[in-house]
Structures are given as C-alpha cells and as structure tokens.
C-alpha cells in the first residue's frame, strides 16, 4: 500500500483532490470532513496544546486552586517549551509532506516539525501536575495517572490527525520531555524556593530570558516560532517577577510550603463554582486589558524609535521590534496574573 493510499484511509478527513506540489509552505489543501466525531475530537484536543488553553488553565490554577502548583507548572512548561522551540529551528526537520497528508492548521504551517511542542507541553503539564499533587492531595493515584495519560495521548494523536507532525515528531517530543522531567525532578523543590531566595532572581530571569529571545536561532524564512518562544519566556519571567514582588512586599499570603502537604480535595459545590468562575472572569478581563494596552503602547514606541510606518506587518516581524514588544507585553501579563489580579480579587472581596 502506498503512503498516499494509507492517508486516504484515515478516518474523518480526506482530500477533495490532490493538488500540484505547493509553491510555498503557506499553501493549505482543501478537504472534506467524513467523520465529524473524529474531526471535532482531535481539533479540540489540538487546542489543549495551544496558547488559548495555557492562558486560561494556568491562571485558573493560580487563582482558584494552588499558587504553588501554578508556579511549578509554569516553570516546567517554560523550560520544556523553550527546549522544543529551539530544537525545531536547529534540526530543521520539515513537517509531513502535503500531499499525501492533509494539514488542518494554518498558523504554524511554516514551522519545522521535530519535536512536536504540542506533545512536549501536554506531557509536561499533565505529568508535572500528577507528580506535584500525588503527595500533596489525597486522591486515587491510578485515576490521576489515567487522566495524565489520556490528556497527553489526545494531544499527541491530534498532531497526527491534523497532519502537522509525523509519529517520529510526536515520539521525540514525548521522549525529550520524559528525560527532562527525570533529570530535573530532584531540583524541583530548590527551584520552587528560588522565588524568595534572592532579590537578584527576577533581574536574572528577565535579563536571561530577553537574551535568549533576542539571540534565538535564525531561520531561513519567517515563522511564528521566535514570536511564540518570546511569548513563553516573557510570561515565565513575568510570573517569576510577580511571585518575587508578592513575597518581598508581602502583597499576598505566602504560598503553602513546597514540601508535601497531604490534604483532602474539597467537594465541588455551586458556591465554589460560582466563586471560581467569577475570579477567573475578573482576572482574564484584566489580563486582556493589560495585554492590549501594553502591546499598543510598546509598538507605538518601537515604531517611533525605528521610524517605521504604523501597522506595517512586515516591520512588526523585524527582530528589533517583534522581540521587545512581545517580551514587554507578556512579561506584563505574567506580572499582572500573579500580582495585580489577586490584589483586585481581594479588593472586590473575592477570597
């Protein structure tokens, strides 16, 4: 059986026709959805590895569940994603050829494929959450392991279904993340305590993160990889700064000691649900306002400094503009999520 015939047999989607070889990477094939269950399942699963999930799940964890967990999740997520993003632009392995595969996503189609950062992020988030809670909360370990496996598996399979990665890309991402977790786990407790250990930590986090963004590996053509990496590192730097500010100025109660603390998970009640959704809504609205305000202001300053025509899309992609405005914007978002949103919650009487 040929590779083309194999992909035609995949459930859910098929090409309406096999076009001629594309002239550039942005070409997207037309396709016909045959099985809507598979289509929506894996499109939803793919969204679990995208920015819209992390910009909601991670803040929700911080505001409503446990700041200690959110801090650890964000640190591991930032480190894993940086490794994956840089590896893509160093290895420069292309994504699957289309045809025979059908690519269902447009935004990241110009990026390289190996390793799958969706697979890396999903594996890192799910198993870091499992490891960090199994000695901290009382719940059946088998249930937690099952949820971690299901979550990461769905995201991994979605990358194959959407035609964005090969099996090797996905397995490479999972393997790199597994090795990273095993090697760094002994230092997790130390990393947790660094936020309050030294006044130089936030400065180092910001300087090092900006340096890594500005010296990101050059690519043959423009892709969103550098911008996404800047967003991730900047958010991590902002969160680090936010936790340090909270500790130094005593703006929030100290997070629970990062040593294992076993406690029961409280039952979900209507009042808890309403409170959680209210805190989340308030927080997200403030984050979006800060994001839009800082982004517009930083772009205006950079456009004026470099004498660039406003709303010039190509100029916005220039290294000296893209990295600073992304970095300032998402550092502000991280700081806002960890410091100003909890302050607003207390002002509004939301415990």
CA distance 76 to 188: 9
For residue 274, the surrounding DSSP H or E stretch is helix 270-305
CA distance 341 to 335: 9
Residue 114, CA distances (Å) to 94, 215, 221, 230, 313 in order: 8, 20, 17, 19, 28
Three-state DSSP state, 138: strand
Contact 137, 262 (CB under 8 A): yes
Per-residue 3-state assignment (H helix, E strand, C coil) for 169-228: HHHHHHHHHHHHHHHHHHHHHHHHHHHHCCCCHHHHHHHHHHHHHHCCCCCCCCCCHHHH
E-strand stretches of the chain: 13-15, 31-33, 137-138, 263-264
Pairing of strands 263-264, 13-15: unpaired
How many helices (H) and strands (E) are present in the chain, helices listed first?
Answer: 14, 4
Catalytic residues: 118, 165
Residue of 131, 119, 232 lying closest to 177 (CA atoms): 119
């Amino acid at each position: 059986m040929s590779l083309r015939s194999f992909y035609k047999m995949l459930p859910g989607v098929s090409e309406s026709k096999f076009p001629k070889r594309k002239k550039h990477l942005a070409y997207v094939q037309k396709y016909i959805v045959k099985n809507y269950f598979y289509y929506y399942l894996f499109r939803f699963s793919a969204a679990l590895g995208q920015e819209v999930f992390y910009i909601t799940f991670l803040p929700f964890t911080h505001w409503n569940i446990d700041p200690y967990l959110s801090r650890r999740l964000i640190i591991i997520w930032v480190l894993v994603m940086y490794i994956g993003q840089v590896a893509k632009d160093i290895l420069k392995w292309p994504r699957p050829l289309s045809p025979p595969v059908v690519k269902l996503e447009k935004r990241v189609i110009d990026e390289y494929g190996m390793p799958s950062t969706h697979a890396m992020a999903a594996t890192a988030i799910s198993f870091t959450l499992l490891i960090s809670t199994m000695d901290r909360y009382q719940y059946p370990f088998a249930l937690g392991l099952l949820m971690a496996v299901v979550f990461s598996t769905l995201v991994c399979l979605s990358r194959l279904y959407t035609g964005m990665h090969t099996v090797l890309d996905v397995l490479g991402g999972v393997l790199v993340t597994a090795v990273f977790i095993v090697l760094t786990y002994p230092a997790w407790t130390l990393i947790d305590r660094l936020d309050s250990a030294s006044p130089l930590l936030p400065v180092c986090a910001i300087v090092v993160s900006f340096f890594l963004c500005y010296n990101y590996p050059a690519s043959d053509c423009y892709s969103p990889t550098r911008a996404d990496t800047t967003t991730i590192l900047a958010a991590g730097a902002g969160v680090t700064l936010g936790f340090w500010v909270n500790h130094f100025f005593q703006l929030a109660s100290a997070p629970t000691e990062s040593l294992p603390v076993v406690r029961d998970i409280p039952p979900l009640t209507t009042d808890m649900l309403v409170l959680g959704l209210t805190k989340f809504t308030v927080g997200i609205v403030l984050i979006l306002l800060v994001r839009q305000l800082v982004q517009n202001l930083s772009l205006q300053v950079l456009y004026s400094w470099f004498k660039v025509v406003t709303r010039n899309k190509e100029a916005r992609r220039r290294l000296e503009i893209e990295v600073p405005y992304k970095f300032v914007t998402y550092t502000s978002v991280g700081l806002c999520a960890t410091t100003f949103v909890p302050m607003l919650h207390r002002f509004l009487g939301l415990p």
